[in-house]
Amino acid sequence: MAEGDGGSDQRQNEEIEAMAAIYGEEWCVIDDCAKIFCIRISDDIDDPKWTLCLQVMLPNEYPGTAPPIYQLNAPWLQGQERADLSNSLEEIYIENIGESILYLWVEKIRDVLIQKSQMTEPVPDVKKKTEEEDIECEDDLILACQPENPVKALDFDVSENRTEIEELPPIDHGIPITDRRSTFQAHLAPVVCPKQVKMVLAKLYENKKIASATHNIYAYRIYCEDKQTFLQDCEDDGETAAGGRLLHLMEILNVRNVMVVVSRWYGGILLGPDRFKHINNCARNILVEKNYTSSPEESSKTLGKNKKCSWSDGLSENPGVSICSYVLK
């Protein structure tokens, strides 16, 4: 029983960190010990017409055998409209039992708000006074990219006429984040086979700056159409659990056929849990920038229904050795 509880705690912590990285200031910690959180969801971030606050409490059994306990708060949400939205959230849980579903819930609510804004005139926005001291750490990320110690984005000369499946794919580089003299930068490449993963790593390590990084954390997800499975794996490179957290973020965003590497240059000051936020923020930013994030509908259809395969074949020095584990709904 203790092992199961520990597994639930780890999955919850990974999901919480991923949600904080995805939604930034929209995500608020109400009670960290009791696992109570709130997220402010609107139809449009820049010009919101309809807004709703989703408050969730994560029981110890979530996500394995119990759903989050939730509350929907909005002055306009009443009667049948509230019942319909609650039913939609509960259907998502039933379709994805055992999986992390907070992202799917948030984006479903956002979809409802967008549809509502297209169909009706907004009611006066009743803004609640809320304290935001709990998200001070997110403010640091806005100011994190300091010009005095930039990691310059790299521009590799990759031919545009690549047709072979095992040719080196193009590599893109994200905007660096610097915090307390540590710098983080994400690199992204489309990949469709494990050999390409190895080629991308080799190409990145040709750059002396990347090769000298304290950690080069990576994760990839490749969708196998014929078997309807995901081929995926990750690497911490000395930053314990960072690869798994990065892969978890990619699973929540439901990205496919892509590899993300996050380089960290340690600046001599320990960052604690903030380092994982920076790693996830770097990864999310470049995935969004390169249009790899999928719609909530696609996420709901695939999350929990596809087999996930972690395969080290092609990256191992022993080509005949593979490690493959399937997780079925």
Strand 177-179 relative to strand 215-224, pairing? unpaired
From 20-29, 144-153, 157-166, the region with the lowest mean pLDDT: 144-153
Q: Is residue 138 pLDDT above 50, yes or no?
A: no
Sequence-separated (6 or more) residues with CB below 8 Å from residue 57: 34, 35, 36, 37, 68, 69, 70
- Which residues on adjacent β-strands are paired with residue 71? 55
Q: pLDDT category, 120, cuts 50, 70, 90?
A: low
d(CA 286, CA 167) in angstroms, rounded, equals 22
Q: What are the pLDDT digits (tens) for 53-84?
A: 898 999 988 988 888 998 888 878 888 888 89
C-beta separation of 198 from 168 below 8 A: no
Sequence-separated (6 or more) residues with CB below 8 Å from residue 68: 56, 57, 58, 59, 62, 101, 102, 105
Residue with tokens 């390409």, as numbered in its chain: 196
Strand 258-265 relative to strand 182-190, pairing? antiparallel
Q: Could you tell me how many residues make up the chain?
A: 329
| Claim: this prediction has a pTM higher than 0.75 | no
Name the token pair of 186: 């994400």
N-term to C-term CA, the chain:
21
Residue with tokens 């710098």, as numbered in its chain: 183
Q: What are the pLDDT digits (tens) for 31-59?
A: 888 888 889 898 887 788 888 889 899 99
Q: Is residue 180 pLDDT above 50, yes or no?
A: yes
The burial class, CB within 10 Å (0-12 / 13-18 / 19+), for 37 is buried
Q: How far is CA 94 from the centre of its chain?
A: 22
Q: Which of 258, 196, 249, 188 is nearest to 223 (CA)?
A: 258
HEC assignment per residue over the chain: CHHHHHHHHHHHHHHHHHHHHHHHHHEEEEECCCCEEEEEEECCCCCCCCEEEEEEECCCCCCCCCCCEEEEECCCCCHHHHHHHHHHHHHHHHHCCCCCCHHHHHHHHHHHHHHHHHHCCCCCCCCCCCCCHHHHHHHHHHCCCCCCCCCCCCCCCCCCCCCCCCCCCCCEECCCEEECCEEEEEEEEECCCHHHHHHHHHHHHCCHHHHCCCEEEEEEEEEECCCCEEEEEEECCCCCCHHHHHHHHHHHCCCCCEEEEEEEECCCCCCCCHHHHHHHHHHHHHHHHCCCCCCHHHHHHHCCCCEEECCCCCCCCCCCCCCCCEECC
d(CA 218, CA 244) in angstroms, rounded, equals 9
Q: Is residue 271 pLDDT above 70, yes or no?
A: yes
Tell me the average pLDDT across 122-136: 36
Sequence-separated (6 or more) residues with CB below 8 Å from residue 14: 100, 244, 245, 248
Per-residue pLDDT, 267:
86
C-beta separation of 52 from 158 below 8 A: no
Q: pLDDT category, 142, cuts 50, 70, 90?
A: very low
d(CA 241, CA 155) in angstroms, rounded, equals 30
Name the token pair of 20: 């904080």
Per-residue pLDDT, 7:
67
